[in-house]
């Protein structure tokens, strides 16, 4: 990271909050994902509420706060949430998460075309993690629409891109699961072994080992 970018992060209290959110996710990843379901698609964004009290009251943070409230309002239908979110003006900071909320809502409704359209119109955010979340969500939508090859290509580009902010082992896990669903165990096993060798002390290690053990067990049973 460039010196200028580091100084910007230190000066921006919201970026500091977002880093704390990511740390919280990594420290509680297994418990969160165990019951996450579709919400896991935007889990790094949704966890923001835990630290929101520490933020300054800037205009963009207020927009994000309202978008977050709407996204999680149990009294509103998906269509009502989408309509309300579409009325908001999102910028390129944390409020850009509101666009991801809309895409996730369309995905949950099963409207893949509209979910994909929202992501295509998503402008680059100044928060790199949001841009990566967009990519992960895009891959998920492509997979749901039967476009597995496109989804895998997208994840592989993220792995190769030095600008990717999301932890590479999380992307590798997503890719391995996609390959397992498509009966490509050998490729999945290679990716899982990469996690174990290159990222041994991360929250993904246990999940990678579990998936790898399952693959190897099935392979032995088939012999």
Task: Count Cα neighbours of 157 within 13 Å in the Cβ-side half-sphere.
Answer: 11
pTM above 0.75, yes or no: no
Token pair recorded at residue 2: 């460039």
Quote the CA–CA distance of 59 and 55 in Å, as a whole number: 11
Could you tell me the pLDDT band of residue 217, with boundaries at 50, 70 and 90? confident
Q: Decide if pLDDT at 200 tops 70.
A: yes
The string over 111-138, giving b where at least 16 C-beta atoms fall within 10 Å of a residue's C-beta and e elsewhere, is ebebbbebbeebeebebbbbbbbbbbbb
Q: Percentage of the chain surpassing pLDDT 90?
A: 60
- DSSP class of residue 2 equals -
pLDDT for residue 218: 79
Q: Comparing C-alpha atoms, which of 108, 84, 112, 110 is closest to residue 98? A: 84
Looking at per-residue pLDDT, the higher value among 28 and 124 belongs to: 124
Quote the CA–CA distance of 16 and 22 in Å, as a whole number: 10
Helix (H), strand (E) at residue 14: helix 13-27
Average pLDDT over residues 51-67: 70
Average pLDDT over residues 82-97: 94
Average pLDDT over residues 113-126: 93
Residues with Cβ < 8 Å from 129, sequence gap 6 or more? 18, 22, 44, 165, 166
Quote the CA–CA distance of 204 and 169 in Å, as a whole number: 6
pLDDT for residue 30: 53
- Over residues 14-29, the pLDDT tens digits come to 444 444 444 545 555 5
Could you tell me the pLDDT band of residue 222, with boundaries at 50, 70 and 90? low
pLDDT for residue 51: 47
Q: Is 58 helix (H, G, I), strand (E, B) or coil?
A: coil
pLDDT for residue 223: 64
Whether 188 contacts 179, CB under 8 Å: yes
- DSSP class of residue 31 equals H
Could you tell me the pLDDT band of residue 60, with boundaries at 50, 70 and 90? confident
Q: Decide if pLDDT at 11 tops 50.
A: no
**CA angle 46–121–47, rounded 5-degree value:** 5
Distance of CA 178 to the CA centre of its chain: 15
């Amino acid at each position: 990271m460039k010196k200028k970018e580091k100084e910007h992060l230190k000066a921006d209290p919201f970026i500091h909050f977002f880093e704390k959110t990511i740390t919280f996710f990594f420290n509680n990843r297994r418990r969160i994902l165990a019951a996450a379901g579709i919400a896991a698609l935007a889990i790094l964004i949704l966890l923001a509420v835990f630290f929101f009290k520490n933020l300054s009251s800037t205009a963009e943070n207020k927009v994000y706060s309202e978008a977050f409230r709407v996204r999680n309002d149990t009294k509103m239908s998906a269509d009502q949430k989408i309509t309300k979110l579409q009325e908001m003006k999102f910028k390129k900071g944390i409020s850009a998460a509101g666009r991801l909320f809309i895409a996730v809502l369309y995905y949950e409704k099963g409207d893949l075309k509209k979910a994909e359209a929202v992501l295509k119109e998503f402008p680059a955010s100044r928060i790199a993690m949001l841009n990566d979340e967009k990519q992960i969500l895009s891959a998920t939508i492509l997979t749901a629409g039967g476009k597995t090859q496109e989804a895998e290509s997208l994840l592989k580009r993220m792995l190769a891109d030095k600008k990717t902010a999301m932890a590479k082992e999380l992307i590798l896990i997503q890719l391995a699961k996609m390959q397992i669903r498509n009966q490509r165990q050998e490729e999945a096993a290679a990716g899982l072994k990469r996690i174990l060798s290159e990222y041994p002390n991360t929250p993904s290690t246990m999940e990678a080992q579990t998936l790898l053990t399952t693959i190897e067990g099935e392979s032995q049973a088939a012999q």
